[in-house]
Amino acid sequence: MNEVTLTIDGLAITAAEGTTVLRAALAGGVYIPHLCDHPDLDPVGVCRLCMVEIGGRMVPACRTPVSEGLTVATGSPLIDAVRRTAVELLIANHPEDCLTCSQNDDCQLQRVAAYVGVDRGRLGRLRRTAEEVPVDRSNPFFNYDSNKCVLCGICVRTCGQRQGVGAIDFAHRGFDTTVSTFGNGPLAESVCESCGECVVRCPVGALAPKALEQPSREVKSVCPYCGVGCGMYLGVRGNKIVSVRGDTENPANQGSLCVKGRFGQGFVNSPKRLTTPLVRKDGRLVEATWDEALDLVAETFSRHTGDQFATIASAKCTNEENYLAQKFTRAAMATHSIDHCARL
């Protein structure tokens, strides 16, 4: 792909053709405030915070492609005034619980407000009486607090563009605009698949996991739930898994995860999880060593071949492991009685 060189605030930056000014600036270390843009989604330019000046005109950086010799100014008195007004309108009725918010220190609205600067006196004049909407806690894995929503549309586009589900969309108009399910019902009663892709992209605290703990370190791993091989980073605190995020560099999933991969790793620390083999003696299951268990399995298998034997393979195995299971069933156990737990 051809590359072009442009100038942003006097700094020469090289970017690939087709890149937006916003993405080129961020990659070059120049911060431009933004809320509605995300690298995984098509730009829409609805927040109007990334306005820049090109050729004496103000344009949204997220919708403007780079070109050779382009000169961009990210700030001016007019741009600063436009941004400040947009931010103040966003936070005029935004909850002021930043210290207890799940996105504290990782909130894009906090960063934008700090960068732009907010006049508390103007906020007082803008503040209107707004009825607080109850938090939707129906989903078993995350909550939706529309009071904190900034209507960036990232969750809507994620659900539609990336997941192809369309469980949520904009509803109503004007000050009453909100992100809603069909018929404004609870998330748990919608077609939402609980993948959490909207949660990880939400720039504020409107969508947040129910169980939230900050990890002390991350461990690179592979999801154990199926043979796709989705890459993930497990957030670990002590000996406990407290968070999961997709590995964007993994070719299998490119950062995406399903509901099991993102929210189903709690079994690792479950007290009900078996950590040692059990064998049945005198009608009771008792702990045994791995050698004892494997010897018992081998001895039992040798007495039940042909039509006396059947295999049920697991979706948690890789394709290669399931291939070996069917090969063992047909070649060693002399039967074609093999099935798989997955059903379309």
Instruction: Summarize pLDDT for 78-87 with one digit per residue, the tens.
Output: 999 999 999 9
Helix (H, G, I), strand (E, B) or coil at 197: helix
Comparing 39 with 319, which gets the higher pLDDT? 39
Q: Is the pLDDT of residue 156 over 70?
A: yes
Q: What is the pLDDT of residues 77-132, one digit of tens each?
A: 999 999 999 998 888 888 888 888 989 889 999 999 999 988 777 777 776 666 78
Q: How confident is the model at residue 343 (pLDDT cuts 50, 70, 90)?
A: low
The reported pLDDT for the residue numbered 129 is 62
In terms of domains, do 21 and 107 share one? yes
Tell me the H-state helices in the chain.
21-27, 77-91, 108-116, 120-126, 154-157, 197-201, 259-263, 290-302, 319-327
Helix (H, G, I), strand (E, B) or coil at 57: strand
Domain span at 223:
213-272
Task: Choose the final residue of a domain: 126, 159, 177.
Answer: 126
What is the mean predicted confidence (pLDDT) over 246-275? 93
Task: Choose the final residue of a domain: 126, 155, 178.
Answer: 126
The reported pLDDT for the residue numbered 233 is 97
In terms of domains, do 175 and 196 share one? yes
CA 62 to chain centroid, in Å, comes to 21
Share of the chain above pLDDT 70, in %: 97
Q: Into how many domains does the chain fold?
A: 4
Letter string b/e over residues 153-188, b meaning 16 or more CB atoms within 10 A of that residue's CB: bbbbbbbbebbebebbeeeeeeeeeebbbeeeeebe
In terms of domains, do 8 and 112 share one? yes
In terms of domains, do 224 and 248 share one? yes
What is the mean predicted confidence (pLDDT) over 24-50? 95
The reported pLDDT for the residue numbered 248 is 94
Instruction: Classify strands 178-181 and 168-171 as parallel, antiparallel or unpaired.
Output: antiparallel
The reported pLDDT for the residue numbered 92 is 83
The reported pLDDT for the residue numbered 344 is 44
Rounded Cα–Cα distance for residues 186 and 168 (Å): 11
CATH number at 242 reads 2.20.25.90
Rounded Cα–Cα distance for residues 241 and 230 (Å): 17
Task: Choose the final residue of a domain: 233, 256, 272.
Answer: 272
Contact 51, 62 (CB under 8 A): no
In terms of domains, do 265 and 287 share one? no
In terms of domains, do 7 and 119 share one? yes
Mean pLDDT of the chain: 92
In terms of domains, do 111 and 18 share one? yes
Closest alpha carbon to 149 in 129, 166, 132, 167? 132
In terms of domains, do 101 and 152 share one? no
Contact 314, 341 (CB under 8 A): yes
